[in-house]
Amino acid sequence: MSPLFDELRRNRLLWLLALVPVVLAAQAVRPQAHTLLFVLSVAAIVPLAALLSRATEAVAARTGDAVGGLLNATLGNLTELLIALAALRAGQYVLVKASIAGAIVANALFMLGASFLIGGLRYHVQEYNRNNARLQAGLLFLATVAILVPSVIGEADVTQAPAFTQMLSLGLSVLLIVTYALGLLFSLKTHREFFAAADHAQSGEREWPLTLALATLAGVTVLVALVSEIFVESVQHAGTALGLSPAFVGFIIVALVGGAAEMVSALSAARRNRLDLSVGIALGSAVQIALFVAPVLVLLSYLIGPAPMDLKFWQGAVAMMLIAAMTASLVTNAGKSAWFVGALVITVYLIFAMTLYLLPPRIP
Amino acid sequence: MSPLFDELRRNRLLWLLALVPVVLAAQAVRPQAHTLLFVLSVAAIVPLAALLSRATEAVAARTGDAVGGLLNATLGNLTELLIALAALRAGQYVLVKASIAGAIVANALFMLGASFLIGGLRYHVQEYNRNNARLQAGLLFLATVAILVPSVIGEADVTQAPAFTQMLSLGLSVLLIVTYALGLLFSLKTHREFFAAADHAQSGEREWPLTLALATLAGVTVLVALVSEIFVESVQHAGTALGLSPAFVGFIIVALVGGAAEMVSALSAARRNRLDLSVGIALGSAVQIALFVAPVLVLLSYLIGPAPMDLKFWQGAVAMMLIAAMTASLVTNAGKSAWFVGALVITVYLIFAMTLYLLPPRIP
Amino acid sequence: MSPLFDELRRNRLLWLLALVPVVLAAQAVRPQAHTLLFVLSVAAIVPLAALLSRATEAVAARTGDAVGGLLNATLGNLTELLIALAALRAGQYVLVKASIAGAIVANALFMLGASFLIGGLRYHVQEYNRNNARLQAGLLFLATVAILVPSVIGEADVTQAPAFTQMLSLGLSVLLIVTYALGLLFSLKTHREFFAAADHAQSGEREWPLTLALATLAGVTVLVALVSEIFVESVQHAGTALGLSPAFVGFIIVALVGGAAEMVSALSAARRNRLDLSVGIALGSAVQIALFVAPVLVLLSYLIGPAPMDLKFWQGAVAMMLIAAMTASLVTNAGKSAWFVGALVITVYLIFAMTLYLLPPRIP
Cβ contact (<8 Å) for B175 and C350?
A: yes
SS3 C4: helix
| Nearest chain A residue (CA) to C161 | A360
ipTM: 0.86
Q: Read off the pLDDT of each residue in A266-291 and give the average, rounded to a whole number.
A: 88
Question: Distance between CA B264 and CA B12 in Å, rounded?
Answer: 12
C322, C329, C339, C355: best mutation site toward chain B, by most B Cβ within 10 Å?
A: C355
- DSSP percent split of chain B into helix, strand, coil, nearest 5: 80, 0, 15
**Among candidate residues A58, A50, A51, A44, the one with its CA nearest the CA of residue A261:** A50
Cβ contact (<8 Å) for B179 and C360?
A: no
**Among candidate residues A245, A255, A235, A236, the one with its CA nearest the CA of residue A101:** A255
Query: Looking at CA atoms only, how far is residue A181 from chain B in angstroms?
Result: 11
**Among candidate residues B50, B99, B61, the one with its CA nearest the CA of residue B248:** B99
Model pLDDT, residue A1: 56
- The one-letter amino acid code at C176 reads L
Per-residue pLDDT of chain C (364 residues; tens, 9 = 90+): 577 788 778 777 788 888 899 999 999 999 889 999 999 999 999 899 888 888 888 888 777 666 777 777 778 788 899 999 999 998 888 899 999 999 999 999 999 999 999 999 999 988 887 777 877 787 888 778 878 877 776 555 555 567 888 888 999 999 999 998 998 888 888 887 776 644 444 455 567 888 888 898 899 999 999 999 999 989 888 888 888 888 888 899 989 988 888 888 888 889 988 888 888 889 989 999 999 999 999 999 999 878 899 888 888 888 899 899 988 988 887 788 889 999 999 999 999 999 888 887 654 4
Question: Distance between CA A325 and CA A337 in Å, rounded?
Answer: 17
| Nearest chain C residue (CA) to A361 | C159
**Among candidate residues C359, C342, C160, C159, the one with its CA nearest the CA of residue C251:** C359
Show residues of chain B in contact with C359, CB under 8 Å: 153, 159, 164
From the list B141, B152, B179, which residue is nearest C330 (CB)?
A: B141
Q: Identify which has the larger pLDDT, A285 or C135.
A: A285
Question: Distance between CA C186 and CA C189 in Å, rounded?
Answer: 6
What is the bridge-based pairing of β-strands C126-127 and C336-337? antiparallel
Question: Distance between CA A47 and CA A42 in Å, rounded?
Answer: 9
The pair phi, psi for residue A273, each rounded to 5°, is: 60, 30
Q: Which helix (H) or strand (E) holds B336?
A: strand B336-337
Question: Distance between CA A271 and CA A277 in Å, rounded?
Answer: 11
Q: Read off the pLDDT of each residue in A358-364 and give the average, rounded to a whole number.
A: 65
Question: Distance between CA B9 and CA A21 in Å, rounded?
Answer: 81
From the list C159, C167, C182, which residue is nearest A363 (CB)?
A: C159
The pair phi, psi for residue A330, each rounded to 5°, is: -65, -45
Cα dist from A330 to A344, B28, B234, C325, whole Å: 12, 58, 46, 12
Cβ contact (<8 Å) for B186 and C323?
A: no
SS3 A309: coil
Cα dist from C270 to B81, C14, C212, C265, C348, whole Å: 41, 21, 30, 9, 20
Model pLDDT, residue A101: 94
Alpha-carbon dihedral C108, C112, C117, C123, rounded to 10 degrees: -150
Show residues of chain C in contact with B182, CB under 8 Å: 340, 343
Provide the sign of the torsion angle of the four alpha carbons B311, B316, B319, B320, taken in this order. negative
B330, B331, B341, B352: best mutation site toward chain A, by most A Cβ within 10 Å?
A: B330
- Whether B206 has a pLDDT exceeding 80, the answer reads no
A153, A160, A180, A323: best mutation site toward chain B, by most B Cβ within 10 Å?
A: A153
Cβ contact (<8 Å) for B153 and C314?
A: no
The pair phi, psi for residue A337, each rounded to 5°, is: -145, 155
Touching partners of C (3+ C-beta pairs < 8 Å): A, B
Q: Read off the pLDDT of each residue in A134-163 and give the average, rounded to a whole number.
A: 73
Question: Distance between CA A117 and CA A121 in Å, rounded?
Answer: 6
Question: Distance between CA C85 and CA C43 in Å, rounded?
Answer: 19
pLDDT in tens, B87-140: 999 888 889 999 999 999 999 999 999 999 999 999 998 888 777 787 778 788
| Nearest chain A residue (CA) to C134 | A334
Touching partners of B (3+ C-beta pairs < 8 Å): A, C
**Longest CA–CA separation in chain A, Å:** 61
Q: Read off the pLDDT of each residue in B353-358 and give the average, rounded to a whole number.
A: 89
**A340-349, B19-28, B66-75: the lowest-pLDDT one:** B66-75
Q: Read off the pLDDT of each residue in B135-154 and give the average, rounded to a whole number.
A: 78
* Residue C134 C-beta-side C-alpha neighbours within 13 Å: 18
Touching partners of A (3+ C-beta pairs < 8 Å): B, C
Model pLDDT, residue B362: 56
pLDDT in tens, A171-207: 999 999 999 899 888 888 888 877 664 444 445 556 7
Model pLDDT, residue C200: 47
Are the C-beta atoms of residues C30 and C199 closer than 8 Å to each other?
no
Are the C-beta atoms of residues C141 and C325 closer than 8 Å to each other?
yes
Model pLDDT, residue A23: 92
Q: Read off the pLDDT of each residue in B208-227 and give the average, rounded to a whole number.
A: 89
Q: Identify which has the larger pLDDT, C199 or B322.
A: B322
Are the C-beta atoms of residues C233 and C40 closer than 8 Å to each other?
no
Whole-model pTM?
0.88
**Among candidate residues C65, C172, C59, C130, the one with its CA nearest the CA of residue C280:** C130
From the list B326, B343, B358, which residue is nearest A164 (CB)?
A: B358
Cβ contact (<8 Å) for A142 and B363?
A: no
Cβ contact (<8 Å) for B351 and A167?
A: no
Average predicted confidence (pLDDT) for chain A:
85
**Among candidate residues A133, A119, A136, the one with its CA nearest the CA of residue A342:** A119
**A52-66, A105-119, B216-230, C17-31: the lowest-pLDDT one:** A52-66
B116, B327, B355: best mutation site toward chain A, by most A Cβ within 10 Å?
A: B355
Chains B and C form CB pairs within 8 A to the count of 75
